[in-house]
């Protein structure tokens, strides 16, 4: 398990996100059958999300449930899904 922290820009606002990420594994589909196994998806737990006020620097707890991002609505249903995807990407970068 890896803990990642990153910033996400939501319009004129900035979210600071802290998440635990357990990396997934690609499938092993070649070789002897006893050495093959299915893929495992990454697991993400969003621990904290803070909305940062750019002018004052104040941070407020933020709940992404039900918040929709129009630019990504065809690809993701909610902001929470987008943040989880970014957390997995960040975990692979570190």
Number of domains within the chain: 1
Q: Classify residue 87 by burial, with Cβ atoms within 10 Å: 0-12, 13-18, 19+.
A: buried
Specify the pTM.
0.70
* pLDDT tens per residue across span 37-72: 999 999 999 898 888 887 787 888 877 665 555 554
**Pairwise CA distance, residues 94 & 83, whole Å:** 17
Q: Which domain range does residue 32 map to?
A: 2-93
Percent of the chain with pLDDT over 90: 36
């Amino acid at each position: 398990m890896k803990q990642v922290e990153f910033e996400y820009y939501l319009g004129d606002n900035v979210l600071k996100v802290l998440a635990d990420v357990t990396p997934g594994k690609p499938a092993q589909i070649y070789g002897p059958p006893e050495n093959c196994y299915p893929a495992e998806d990454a697991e993400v737990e969003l621990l904290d999300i803070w909305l940062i006020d750019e002018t004052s620097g104040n941070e407020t707890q933020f709940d992404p449930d039900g918040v929709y991002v129009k630019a990504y609505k065809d690809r993701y249903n909610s902001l929470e899904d987008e943040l989880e995807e970014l957390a997995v990407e960040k975990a692979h970068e570190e």
